Chains A and B, each alone.
Chain A
Amino acid sequence: MIRITGGKIFDPANGINGQVRDLCIDGGKFVSSVIGGRTIDATGMIVFPGGVDVHTHVAGGSINFARAMTPEDHRRTTAFIRTQSRRSGLGGMAPTTFATGYLYAGMGWTTVNEAAVPVLSARHTHEELHDIPILDKSSCVLMANNEILLDLFEAGDFERAKDVVAWYICAAKSYGVKAVNPGGVAAWKWGKDAKQLTDPIEGYNRITPGTIIGGLAQIIDELGLPHPMHLHCNNLGAPGNVWTTLETMKLLEGRRAHIAHLQYHAYGGDDWDTMRSASAEVAEYFNTHTNMTTDAGAVLFGDTVTITADGPWQHLLYKLTGRKWGNLDVENETGCGIVPYTYRPSNLVNSIQWAVGLELLLLINDPWRIFLSTDHPNGACFWRYPEIIQLLMSFDFRKECMTKLSPIARERITLPDIDREYTLYEIATITSAGPARALGLTQKGSLGIGADADIVIYEEEKDIAKMFSHPRYVLKGGEVVIEDGDIRATPEGREFIVKPAFNPDIESFLKPKFEDVYTMSFENYPVEIERLEHVEVRDCIDT
Chain B
Amino acid sequence: MYWGGNPAECHPRHFTKYTLMQKSKFLPRGRKDRTMILVDIRETKSGGAADIFLQIRPGKDFEVLTILRAILKGQHVNESAIAETGLTLEQLTDFIDRAKKAKFGCMFFGMGLSMTRGKHMNSAALLTLAAELNAFTKFVAMPMRGHGNVTGADVIMRWQTGFPFGITFNRGYPRYNPGEFSTVDVLVRGDTDAALILGADPGATMPQPAIDHLARIPTIVLDPKVTHTSRLARVHITTSVAGISAPGTAYRMDEIPLPLKPALKSPYPTDQEVVRRINEAVARKSHWIPDGGPMTILQR
Chain A residues proximal to chain B, CB less than 8 Å? 59, 61, 64-65, 67-68, 71, 74-92, 94, 96-98, 120-121, 123-124, 127-128, 131, 147, 188-191, 203, 315, 318-319, 325, 327, 329, 485-487, 516-517, 519-520, 524, 528
Q: How far is the CA of A191 from the CA of B134 in the complex (A)?
A: 7
A96 touches B161 (CB 8 A): yes
B103 beta carbon closer than 8 Å to chain A: yes
Nearest to B260 among chain A residues (CB) is A524
Nearest to A72 among chain B residues (CB) is B176
Nearest to B286 among chain A residues (CB) is A84
Q: Which residues of A contact B25 (CB under 8 A)?
A: 147, 516-517
Q: In the complex, identify which listed stretch (B51-59, B185-193, B215-223, B290-298) lies at the interface while the others stay far away.
A: B290-298
A81 touches B293 (CB 8 A): yes
Q: Which residues of A contact B80 (CB under 8 A)?
A: none
B294 touches A81 (CB 8 A): yes
Give chain B interface residues in 237-288, CB to chain A under 8 Å: 249, 251, 255-259, 283, 287
A127 touches B169 (CB 8 A): no
B31 beta carbon closer than 8 Å to chain A: no
Nearest to B26 among chain A residues (CB) is A203
B172 beta carbon closer than 8 Å to chain A: yes
Point out the residue from A84, A90, A128, A318 that lies within 8 Å of B291, measured CB to CB.
Answer: A84
Nearest to A86 among chain B residues (CB) is B295
Q: Mark B137-168, 1 if CB is under 8 A from A, else 0.
A: 11010000000000000111011111110000
A325 touches B131 (CB 8 A): yes
A124 touches B255 (CB 8 A): yes
B138 touches A74 (CB 8 A): no
B267 CB → nearest A CB, Å: 23
A67 touches B162 (CB 8 A): yes
Known: A189-B138, A524-B259. A82 touches B176 (CB 8 A): no
Q: Which residues of B contact A75 (CB under 8 A)?
A: 175-176, 299-300
A83 touches B291 (CB 8 A): yes
Main secondary structure of the interface of A (DSSP, over half): mixed
Q: How far is the CA of A46 from the CA of B104 in the complex (A)?
A: 57
B104 touches A124 (CB 8 A): no
A516 touches B159 (CB 8 A): no
Q: Which residues of A contact B172 (CB under 8 A)?
A: 81-82, 88
A96 touches B160 (CB 8 A): yes
Q: Which residues of B contact A76 (CB under 8 A)?
A: 299-300
A78 touches B256 (CB 8 A): no
Q: How far is the CA of A64 from the CA of B155 in the complex (A)?
A: 7
Q: How far is the CA of A190 from the CA of B104 in the complex (A)?
A: 7
B75 beta carbon closer than 8 Å to chain A: no
Q: How far is the CA of A530 from the CA of B138 in the complex (A)?
A: 39
Q: Which residues of A contact B256 (CB under 8 A)?
A: 120-121, 124, 519-520
Point out the residue from B154, B176, B283, B298 that lies within 8 Å of A74, measured CB to CB.
Answer: B176
B138 touches A190 (CB 8 A): yes
Nearest to B172 among chain A residues (CB) is A81
Q: Which residues of B contact A487 (CB under 8 A)?
A: 295
Q: How far is the CA of A516 from the CA of B251 in the complex (A)?
A: 22
What are some 18 contacts across the A-B interface (CB < 8 A)?
Answer: A67-B163, A68-B164, A75-B299, A81-B295, A82-B289, A83-B293, A84-B287, A89-B161, A90-B174, A121-B255, A124-B155, A124-B257, A127-B159, A128-B159, A189-B138, A329-B140, A519-B18, A524-B259
A81 touches B289 (CB 8 A): yes
The 7 tightest CB contacts between A and B, nearest first, are A79-B173, A191-B138, A81-B172, A74-B162, A88-B173, A84-B287, A123-B257
Interface size band for B: 35 or more
Point out the residue from B18, B134, B251, B297 that lies within 8 Å of A81, measured CB to CB.
Answer: B297
A90 touches B162 (CB 8 A): yes
B173 touches A82 (CB 8 A): yes
Q: How far is the CA of A486 from the CA of B294 in the complex (A)?
A: 9
Q: How far is the CA of A81 from the CA of B299 in the complex (A)?
A: 11
B32 beta carbon closer than 8 Å to chain A: no
B163 touches A97 (CB 8 A): no
Known: A120-B256, A191-B138, A520-B258. A96 touches B162 (CB 8 A): yes
Q: Which residues of B contact A79 (CB under 8 A)?
A: 173-174, 296-299
A59 CB → nearest B CB, Å: 7
Nearest to B138 among chain A residues (CB) is A191
Q: How far is the CA of A89 from the CA of B24 in the complex (A)?
A: 43
B17 beta carbon closer than 8 Å to chain A: yes
Q: How far is the CA of A55 from the CA of B151 in the complex (A)?
A: 28
B297 touches A61 (CB 8 A): no
Q: Which residues of B contact A127 (CB under 8 A)?
A: 156, 159, 249, 257
Q: Which residues of B contact A528 (CB under 8 A)?
A: 259
Q: How far is the CA of A123 from the CA of B259 in the complex (A)?
A: 9
Nearest to B297 among chain A residues (CB) is A79
Q: How far is the CA of A59 from the CA of B259 in the complex (A)?
A: 19
Q: How far is the CA of A203 from the CA of B154 in the complex (A)?
A: 35
* Extra 5 A-B pairs, beta carbons < 8 Å, given A67-B162, A83-B291, A203-B26: A68-B154, A84-B287, A94-B162, A127-B159, A327-B140
A190 touches B176 (CB 8 A): no
Q: How far is the CA of A525 from the CA of B173 in the complex (A)?
A: 35
Q: How far is the CA of A517 from the CA of B137 in the complex (A)?
A: 22
Q: How far is the CA of A357 from the CA of B111 in the complex (A)?
A: 46
Q: Which residues of B contact A86 (CB under 8 A)?
A: 295
Q: Which residues of B contact A318 (CB under 8 A)?
A: 131
Q: How far is the CA of A370 from the CA of B121 in the complex (A)?
A: 46
A513 CB → nearest B CB, Å: 11
B162 touches A188 (CB 8 A): no
Q: Which residues of A contact B291 (CB under 8 A)?
A: 83-85
Q: Which residues of A contact B300 (CB under 8 A)?
A: 75-76
A80 touches B295 (CB 8 A): yes
Q: Which residues of A contact B257 (CB under 8 A)?
A: 121, 123-124, 127
A83 touches B287 (CB 8 A): yes
Point out the residue from A90, A128, A319 that lies within 8 Å of B161, measured CB to CB.
Answer: A90
Nearest to A92 among chain B residues (CB) is B162
Q: Which residues of B contact A485 (CB under 8 A)?
A: 295
Q: How far is the CA of A85 from the CA of B290 in the complex (A)?
A: 11
Q: Which residues of A contact B171 (CB under 8 A)?
A: 81
Nearest to A74 among chain B residues (CB) is B162
Q: How far is the CA of A368 from the CA of B251 in the complex (A)?
A: 41
Q: How far is the CA of A147 from the CA of B298 in the complex (A)?
A: 46
B169 touches A82 (CB 8 A): yes
Nearest to B137 among chain A residues (CB) is A191
Q: How far is the CA of A147 from the CA of B25 in the complex (A)?
A: 11
Q: Which residues of B contact A92 (CB under 8 A)?
A: 162
Q: Which residues of A contact B140 (CB under 8 A)?
A: 327, 329
B100 CB → nearest A CB, Å: 11
A515 CB → nearest B CB, Å: 11
Q: Which residues of A contact B176 (CB under 8 A)?
A: 71, 74-75
Nearest to A94 among chain B residues (CB) is B162
A201 CB → nearest B CB, Å: 14
Known: A327-B140, A524-B258. A68 touches B169 (CB 8 A): no
B259 touches A315 (CB 8 A): no
Nearest to B166 among chain A residues (CB) is A71
A477 CB → nearest B CB, Å: 22
